Amino acid sequence: MLRLVVIVLLLANAGYFAWSQGHLRQWGYGPQEQAEPQRMNQQIRPETLQILRVNPGKVSAAPAATPSPPAATTTTADASTPAPAEAAECLQAGVFDERQADALRTAAAGLPQGSWVLEPTPVPGRWMVYMGRFDDMDTLDKKRA
């Protein structure tokens, strides 16, 4: 009896292996593909994506040291070199209702044109399971536990 159970389990494992590796697809028994190639077509202007380096000044939690006065040996070539521009950041905030969005638009009006965008985000539906009224508190306590 035990020998039969072992043989059945070995055959089941071999069948699962053949199914998971796609060897049974020719007979219509293969796992579904997990790829989503349609997402590549749904991208909006993917060529505009830029990867930026992290600003090292913002990453460190230590307080910034006070800058030392420039040395007297600074040449005129060094003085004419412009300071490097601060790296831009792309930040995203949470979901806002209409009142909060109006307050954000008012606050961001002073920023340079095109430096911010407020995009609507659909909120997915929320679900709950309603179990109805319970006859007594004991039943309610059992369901809560």
Q: Is the model's pTM score more than 0.95?
A: no
pLDDT at 83: 54
Q: Is residue 72 part of a domain?
A: no
- What confidence tens digit (pLDDT) does each residue in 61-117 have? 444 444 444 444 444 444 455 555 565 677 777 778 889 989 988 988 888 888 888
Q: Is residue 114 part of a domain?
A: yes
Count of domains forming the chain: 1
Q: Is residue 17 part of a domain?
A: no
Q: How confident is the model at residue 56 (pLDDT cuts 50, 70, 90)?
A: low
Tokens 């292996």 identify what position? 17
Average pLDDT over residues 14-38: 85
Q: How confident is the model at residue 50 (pLDDT cuts 50, 70, 90)?
A: confident
Q: How many CB atoms lie within 10 A of CB 89?
A: 9
Q: Which of the two residues, 70 and 11, has the higher pLDDT score? A: 11
- Cβ–Cβ under 8 Å, residues 110 and 84: no
- Cβ–Cβ under 8 Å, residues 104 and 96: yes
Q: Is residue 79 part of a domain?
A: no
Residue 107 structural domain = 95-120
Q: Is residue 30 part of a domain?
A: no
pLDDT at 47: 86
Identify the top-confidence range among 32-36, 79-83, 118-122, 132-136: 132-136
pLDDT at 8 > cutoff 90: yes
Three-state SS across 37-61? CHHHHCCCCHHHCCCCCCCHHHHCC
Distance of CA 114 to the CA centre of its chain: 24
**Measuring CA to CA, which residue among 55, 61, 63 is closest to residue 90?**
55
pLDDT at 84: 53
Q: How many CB atoms lie within 10 A of CB 67?
A: 6
Distance of CA 6 to the CA centre of its chain: 45
